[in-house]
Structure 1
């Protein structure tokens, strides 16, 4: 949609959406299919014929210090080991190899604050800050296997913190910034975190919440926390305990500039992330390094058809959820892509802020949740119509099923009827996308996630375990690289 294009009158738009809902399938645009990274349906047969070879090929796209001797070790099933014997580092794969390839000046994140602040961080910028924070953590006794808690808003320092942990083999435990201090306490206690990285405050819709002051109340109940690193984010008055607390910027200034990435076993723990608790008490999901990175890198590249030299990717999730881990941090950075990160809500300071940022940064691939799409529908098509969305070429949906009407509105109003939509199914436990259309191949159906990603063996079965064409239970019949290893 070009800027200034008048949206149809509400009754006209409803009529057009109703007509589109009568279509059974939506083919990818011919130009998109011609250029797509995957455009031949034979890829499904190839992966199904030898899934281990398929995943091994994609593991080869990563940097390894030492190559694996076994792709998949099933000797202690269901505790599978992927790329056994291999060593690598997530931080190195996200940063060093791009800098070494001459792409250090490429923007990694266009960050936008709630009140209009802007920061562009290149791969070289991240590489510099990650090394210094990694050294600062080491200076405070953090080493391989020590858990580091992260409780930050959507600011670039959250990415630096995650990758600094990964660099030295310290599993990170990120807590969604909207959760209460009691949720932080529960997650830090269970994981026996040694360090907590937080902020002085966080902003939401023009208001400032004093984060560190709130966390202060629960730190006395967390004897494992030896150090608290505080990002000066809002500049508010902040309680600091001498000997335990340190400002983020001061820690970086005092730390050494170079920190070689640790050579870590493929099965070394990368992070702990607690589930939302929607079905039971939150569970600490443990993801390891080699398999997770392989699955996330491959799905990021092929589901979103990403070309790092051309695309600007925006996943609107929060880093505190698995979608943010996989498709804001690890996936895009491993692929050397430029991304957008926004601190605020989709309706602040105005209900058109998302579309303003899409136009400003030239977003080509946009990935969001159906709840957000339905909110945008309610606010009206006039808001996106104010901005030039013509660079968008692919849209995505994540987090819950998308109803057909929301899908068609997304297709019509945001995509201008020219963008394939990848409706993705996966969850914290799977680590990466499992069921999705491939945008250069699939004739998509509104409200359907379509087919398993190549290399994923999924089926719908009845109560007796027999495959069925109707409703039933979704089962995953073979291990996949990004699967959880255990509960922490």
Structure 2
């Protein structure tokens, strides 16, 4: 445990708990409202209550227009493409004009307040312009990860029923160009709902064929809008109006559209930028995610701009574009103070460059904090990052549904002591509880289901898109009066939260409930292991037994078989024979979503010989063939 200076966290959290309305009412003063809210919380509205009833504002106004007078010449966004070698920047004034012109084009395409717009884009500036242009005119955007399969895109088009779709001709992946337009055309063909129009940004790496009468060229349309002064102003929208609908990754069947309302989201993001991340206006903040994920929505686009920061939009990977020093280059070249990325990015860098030799080439003197989220940050990776970067490494935990951190270490309030393996403590607004199967609170250090008492704080989903009943069934019915996170973990005697995995990652070995996350911690502590995943596989005697998949660091000299034996012994030593851990399997790569989450559920199905479908969000499908082949060699799965 490290021991920083005094923190105001406990004082601030207690103030929220004593008077939630006063707390969030004060936080709402950071927002430039057209009409201030009449009520901070209306508990009778919506499914569980609605925030800032009566308030009227606009997210684009708060992200761009209001900053122009004070910091119009400051860079609002820097685009850095490791894929093309290009870099570009826009000031707040330039970005406002670009977004206003695109919003004018949307108006010409018939898009009005309340209409939906699907955004299917790579990591290029136009993707950010698209989101802000929708917000500017009160349209509801739904960003679908660029390169998503046609049938997955089609299900989202059917559910959102967009008036228009904004896309690009292609996306770029290491070693290949992904043509988006054929996927988009096929999705529209498959979908019962047909958009009125599509706007397509032509990238030089691949030109798309436009459909007459439906498709328009992006650059031409925006240039024409600028030439004729067709720039759209910000449209006033209610605080409770939706800003966007974001479909949860990995869904099967009908996707779940998480709704994000306007007012609560602005307030929560503004509060988090200074209190949690400790970032001030004018500083450079980099969230190395994708705009297709919730992290990209909150902390590439809206959060940093609302806070008056300079945000980085990065098109590239942590390794291979061109090497494991890519992140350090971006930090050094653009003066980044704070980076937010996924633990899997750090593990990839550690695997390729375990001694951090690339780091010596770059000046990171302005860099002061690294935040991790997206999946559990194993202590070994956090410790490696601390020793390598010599800055605080802050794990924090949140979900697509919440839109911002449930738990974290609030650097802006003064960092709390770090406990490796814990995202630290709940943020104001979140009354986090650990309960047993009957919904009863459990003692400290006891594993249970993690729930949050209602109402959820500002920024969290008020419901699912046109599916209140499904929202209640999915999140509120299991433990009445609370929101079920579907995560499992415990709280220690100091109030620190430990997330040990999804509730379905708690395996039952001969009647003992064991956390796969705890076993992963042990495996990751081995000096030869770069990353790992533990799943429970079927066993005729014990019901389930754990199976560990491990990826070794580059340059490891010991044989995989020898390391596997050491790992089995290590789990037996640290957790005990009760874990029944007898199988460690060395693999070249772990299958992941494009946001970096390990596909443990799919690996389990392959090992069990169950039917499985290719996950829609998988980054590289060929990895599952590698996993299947190795499992088959060991006598698992279908033969």
In the superposition, the TM-score normalised over structure 2's length comes to 0.69
Q: Secondary structure at the match of 1:63?
A: coil
**1:119 is matched with which residue?**
88
**2:213 is matched with which residue?**
243
**1:410 is matched with which residue?**
385
CA contact (8 A) 2:48 2:454 kept: no
188, 204, 217: which one pairs with 1:234? 204
Higher Cα radius of gyration: 2
247, 268, 273: which one pairs with 1:274? 247
CA distance in 1, matches of 2:420, 2:230: 50
Higher mean alpha-carbon deviation, 74-83 vs 399-408, is at 74-83
CA distance in 1, matches of 2:337, 2:417: 20
CA distance in 2, matches of 1:257, 1:106: 25
- Give the drift of 1:481: 0.8
CA distance in 2, matches of 1:175, 1:312: 26
Gaps of 5+ in 1: 1-24
CA distance in 2, matches of 1:205, 1:234: 16
Hey, which of these two has a bigger chunk of strand by percent? Answer: 2
Q: Are the structure 2 counterparts of residues 111 and 298 from structure 1 closer, same or farther at C-alpha, using a change threshold of 3 Å?
A: same
Query: Over residues 276-311 of structure 1, what are the superposed CA-to-partner deviations in whole Å (9 max), with x where a residue is unaligned?
Result: 1268863111111001111122112211101123x2
Query: Over residues 369-417 of structure 1, what are the superposed CA-to-partner deviations in whole Å (9 max), with x where a residue is unaligned?
Result: 1111111111121122332222211110011111100110111112x1x
The yes-or-no answer on 1:371 pairing with 2:371 is: no
- Give the drift of 1:466: 2.8
Q: Show the 5 A alignment for 1:27-426.
A: 27-28=3-4, 39=8, 41-76=10-45, 78-100=47-69, 102-113=70-81, 114-222=83-191, 223-255=193-225, 256-277=229-250, 282-309=255-282, 311-347=283-319, 348-380=321-353, 381-414=356-389, 416=390, 419-426=391-398
Gaps of 5+ in 2: 466-639
**1:447 is matched with which residue?**
421
Higher mean alpha-carbon deviation, 208-217 vs 370-379, is at 208-217
CA contact (8 A) 1:208 1:234 kept: no
CA distance in 2, matches of 1:336, 1:129: 17
Query: Over residues 205-238 of structure 1, what are the superposed CA-to-partner deviations in whole Å (9 max), with x where a residue is unaligned?
Result: 1421211133222323344311110112235231
- Give the drift of 1:322: 0.2
Higher mean alpha-carbon deviation, 107-116 vs 149-158, is at 107-116
- Give the drift of 1:142: 0.6
Q: Secondary structure at the match of 1:331?
A: helix
**2:462 is matched with which residue?**
485
- Give the drift of 1:118: 0.7
CA contact (8 A) 1:205 1:349 kept: no
- Give the drift of 1:441: 3.2
Between Structure 1 and Structure 2, how many residues are aligned? Answer: 452
CA distance in 1, matches of 2:46, 2:78: 43
- Give the drift of 1:187: 0.7
CA contact (8 A) 2:332 2:363 kept: yes
CA RMSD of aligned residues (A): 1.7
CA distance in 1, matches of 2:212, 2:253: 39
Q: Secondary structure at the match of 1:240?
A: coil
CA contact (8 A) 2:72 2:93 kept: yes
Identify the structure with bigger relative contact order (alpha carbons < 8 Å, sequence gap 6+): 1
CA contact (8 A) 1:303 1:422 kept: no
In the superposition, the TM-score normalised over structure 1's length comes to 0.89
- Give the drift of 1:421: 2.5
CA distance in 1, matches of 2:428, 2:378: 25
